Structure 1
């Protein structure tokens, strides 16, 4: 018959510049695709070298080693009799391009450069690559001699073309081209391309997983055809975690979809497609046919190869599948845990050290590590040999077999309660109870002698003794005494992280985990170089609101009854003296704003690009049921003063798992100055003038009764109050 084809879409956990490991994972994916009956295999963006090579793309070595990997693929018997395309960087006429390279049986068919590059969020592609701007044109690409010796080809086509087999036609999009308003799949479909392949590098953000599915379904709903979306998964050396979720869509329906989070490095999904279904679907849309008749053709690379055969009568067409999305709580459970696993196994360290305070933030971090241990045990039980190899390597025990998450957590996670005279018995007990429930190797220490020693050095040098505010000290003294405790905890964390495995009779050291959430970073409510300074921070891109929701979920998911008391306790740094054994300091009182308000400030500042006056204009309506215009003005001005004063802290912020659209991470996601004029004179005067005008007019348009706490909830965002829109990646904001 020759009408049914089996295609394979691959999800790979690649690592920037790990050419050997990347090659092996690509070969494994090709082998699995062939075993599943596929005659066409596609993979993620820049899978040969890894997506996050960044300025290594300026090095000729990166291009050389990518060609060397391609040479190994061309020579491999695994790649025989299957049409393959891989993602790699290519230089043509001294210009660097992000490309797909298609090949079959030791012949390169086409090099297809990316035509639309991504520059938003964490993407900086135009720093390293240029767009291919010659639509529907190809040029001669002169192959390196190492490739010519294998293929006997001197030149191959490079450009905007499609591959025509004996039975169908294959075209390409690369990542951003799907999200762009002028997506290439439209003219490709109109030119009769029936299979469109997209190698992508799309990273995870909370509540984003639906976006790709919507876009892929839409691409084939309007124009018909099969769309193959292949994405990276994992941490390849950066703060981001690639999202997985590779899928295949046919005529507006998802017929196959991969996992979002997983520990295994290679996942291959296939779909069986009836080409006649595509042709029938398209001919029924008259308006599409009229456009197609006038569409300019693409150059076609003809290949004497078929994706179908006469025995396809025995193949069953892949039916539509229902796409189920993880809740934000499940995304927090799985995403940062997988990110930590990638970081741990590739760092050469032996586990994690976590200062466990008994509060929401450090508790969330501990639960994420426990989730990682749970996933490791599940993966080993399912026969994932690479996971078993990696955990044995980390523990330096060749016969180790993980089976119980608590036992594994005891080997991988050391927790420590660092008490001072200002710490309460309640937080100490909560930390100890949680550690017992997850199995971490836990111990308490008292840091008062170290604090006294540091104060003693200051007193010897100056003759002055600083005091807390409650004992007659000024605000400067009070803050300095708090910071001493916080910074000493960082010093002690690194001491214990370096030596605890020595104490336990194991080689190596531990990675120090930070546990400062995205709202605290935005406000700067942390001590510079305190426990927020660590090696990595799995919750640094997650809001306090979402972390609380996650702990409610984790309480039943992992049966951790101690989380009930932790959730009920008010957030506190416990750095000021107790009163009759009770805390006198809370985070929200110290900050002068609630965590819910902080989330709104963050979204308006970053996602909606609001300065002080724009933020006031929006919040004066959203908060009209709870605040006067004057009160809103003071809240906004207080936020921006604190933001300006503390912005410098973002330059040393611990590398954090990226999860939230309003992350203030200075190094990648949020490019703003770190030295501001604190008083914002012009901006604040504009706000004051507006408040004066509102007071004079005595009128303001009231919003609905929704409160700020409801707006900032885990399943809602501020877009409900303003015009809903989508960013360039399609994420609802």
Structure 2
């Protein structure tokens, strides 16, 4: 707080003395961030003021005032500038003018959350900053879960003149990581001296206020002092990022919530199987951290399992202590999914339960029949689509109730203390389309895969099968995705997800990116996909696909208001909490936009009446 205004600041100090308080000049106010709600950016470029320290700080530092503002530190041998997180990502970053004014070392205290494939952009920004202008760049990034949907993945680095000299771990259970490199400041000076365009720009730049610091960063002349060598940045594949990031997020959530483990409804499909694999991956990381001497992780494990002498060594054994899986069968379940769930649970070591929900479903339907005198039937048994959907939703919601009951009392029934966190398993594509039931098993305490596409999840499951030696995943990968909420046909699954949705998962990823990232509505998306899909679809087919997607998206958008908190991993997440703030009551017929599509002369004959089609299908215009 400076002159009754809140600023987001970095405090730079040396030997118990504050050197400079540097307020942030560019605030993040898009996506997941709302900094302008809490802070004001410092708008007085290259200006400082006196900041009167609180008396409690004065007693510690023996200082009454310190510089506050946009300045740099001038030591005996170099000049150090500072950026804060978002400032690196802005079109005119402070490091540009600071570098032109002679700043040789840039530091950045960042709070950049993980998104799949984002590390490439982060590394490119730093390397390009030092390629164009020379200099040494030190980037430190927050690590861990901050109590919400975001995970901060570390990824600290040290770069000079366009090359990386040190790379920190991108995902780790350690709270603190120190990264060092020994570099020669003369390399920066000689690099800059050769760039004439930079030197011309430097002659015109306005100077920064300098805070003099009686300190030297460089060592005395020592020709034998070894210098760090450039390294090639090692990127994780998206599947590896999924294996590590959400697993670390789960660990932070588990230890900070002080619960005793997780409860996962395991259906035998890819989504719940991927969630189980994430917990298993978490157990691997915990065992590795303990093996490498992390006392903090060891203390947390002992608190979770309630054993002060316990030391985890085998991920499978640890998984059996903290993960309870449950296959909730109904008369519509197949033996294949039951076997797949059981086999995976055995291979990862979870405590597995098998139960049948039919008595509970019949009890709920019995209440309805008792009151109304009516008994709904599935479409396969002569019922309407409205009846069939209601019967499917009852099964799904009963599973949610049972999941929370077992999460609360499962450990009690085994004579152990504590409760379990319920894990959800709805992926980002299904959330985007609303292919889920409100308050079913998608309703949980947290959802580690809720921000991940089906395509990336399948790649992750393939990685787990190979890396963790889990052959049960093979049958899960090749099986068609199905909710198993409708009656079986001769003992076989008659309902698949993509047939139900009328959209493929690959198409959903395309729609999601164009809607959120490219900010496209129905007509803009139609125009874009005419070209993108010109070799596989006619204009008529493109029009029908786009109209079908937006009709279903808008019909089911209300479901996002109750979506389980999920790990944020994709830039097209439909998370209604803060990332994708959209209405949840739309005109689902999109009359103007759809009319613009239909009036194109090259589109052919009249298209499908999407709203009528939806009313006939498994996802009606008003859903629950």
TM-score w.r.t. the length of structure 1 is 0.82
1:168 pairs with 2:74:
no
Following TM superposition, by how much is the alpha carbon of 1:288 offset from its aligned partner in structure 2, in angstroms?
1.7
Partner of 1:664: 574
- Whole-Å separation in 1 of the counterparts to 2:478 and 2:59: 69
Q: Deviations over 1:53-108 (max 9, x none)?
A: xxxxxxxxxxxxxxxxxxxxxxxxxxxxxxxxxxxxxx111111111111112211
Following TM superposition, by how much is the alpha carbon of 1:590 offset from its aligned partner in structure 2, in angstroms?
0.6
Partner of 2:616: none
1:254 pairs with 2:180:
no
5 Å-filtered alignment, 1:118-197, equals 118-197=28-107
- Whole-Å separation in 1 of the counterparts to 2:405 and 2:544: 43
- Bigger mean CA deviation after superposition, 203-212 or 526-535: 203-212
- Whole-Å separation in 2 of the counterparts to 1:185 and 1:677: 47
Partner of 2:336: 426
- Whole-Å separation in 2 of the counterparts to 1:618 and 1:351: 46
- Whole-Å separation in 2 of the counterparts to 1:309 and 1:585: 71
Q: 2:279 aligns with which of 369, 382, 385?
A: 369
- Whole-Å separation in 1 of the counterparts to 2:61 and 2:71: 20
- Whole-Å separation in 2 of the counterparts to 1:290 and 1:627: 54
Partner of 2:346: 436
Partner of 2:217: 307
- Whole-Å separation in 1 of the counterparts to 2:146 and 2:106: 26
5 Å-filtered alignment, 1:78-117, equals 91-117=1-27
- Whole-Å separation in 1 of the counterparts to 2:322 and 2:147: 21
Q: Deviations over 1:8-50 (max 9, x none)?
A: xxxxxxxxxxxxxxxxxxxxxxxxxxxxxxxxxxxxxxxxxxx
Partner of 2:437: 527
1:680 pairs with 2:590:
yes
5 Å-filtered alignment, 1:475-486, equals 475-486=385-396
Structure 2 unaligned spans of 5+: 606-624
Following TM superposition, by how much is the alpha carbon of 1:509 offset from its aligned partner in structure 2, in angstroms?
0.2
TM-score w.r.t. the length of structure 2 is 0.96
- Whole-Å separation in 2 of the counterparts to 1:288 and 1:546: 43
Task: Give SS of 1:695's match.
Answer: coil
- Whole-Å separation in 1 of the counterparts to 2:221 and 2:166: 22
Corresponding residue pairs, total: 605
- Whole-Å separation in 2 of the counterparts to 1:224 and 1:113: 24
Q: 2:517 aligns with which of 607, 615, 619?
A: 607
Q: Deviations over 1:322-353 (max 9, x none)?
A: 10100011011111100000000000100000
Q: Which runs of 4+ in 1 moved over 3 A?
A: 311-314, 692-696
Following TM superposition, by how much is the alpha carbon of 1:621 offset from its aligned partner in structure 2, in angstroms?
2.0
Indicate if the aligned counterparts of 2:539 and 2:602 stay in contact, CA closer than 8 A.
Answer: no
Partner of 1:15: none
Following TM superposition, by how much is the alpha carbon of 1:673 offset from its aligned partner in structure 2, in angstroms?
0.5
Task: Give SS of 1:266's match.
Answer: coil
Q: Deviations over 1:578-636 (max 9, x none)?
A: 11100110101111111111111111110111001001111122222222212211111
Residue 647 and residue 94 in structure 1: after superposition, are their counterparts in 2 closer, same or farther (change >3 A)? same
Q: Deviations over 1:406-438 (max 9, x none)?
A: 100000100000000000000000000000000
1:353 pairs with 2:263:
yes
Partner of 2:135: 225
Following TM superposition, by how much is the alpha carbon of 1:682 offset from its aligned partner in structure 2, in angstroms?
0.9
Following TM superposition, by how much is the alpha carbon of 1:231 offset from its aligned partner in structure 2, in angstroms?
0.3
Task: Give SS of 2:599's match.
Answer: helix
Following TM superposition, by how much is the alpha carbon of 1:294 offset from its aligned partner in structure 2, in angstroms?
2.6
Partner of 2:604: 695
Partner of 1:266: 176
> For the aligned residues, what is the CA RMSD?
1.1
- Bigger mean CA deviation after superposition, 523-532 or 674-683: 674-683
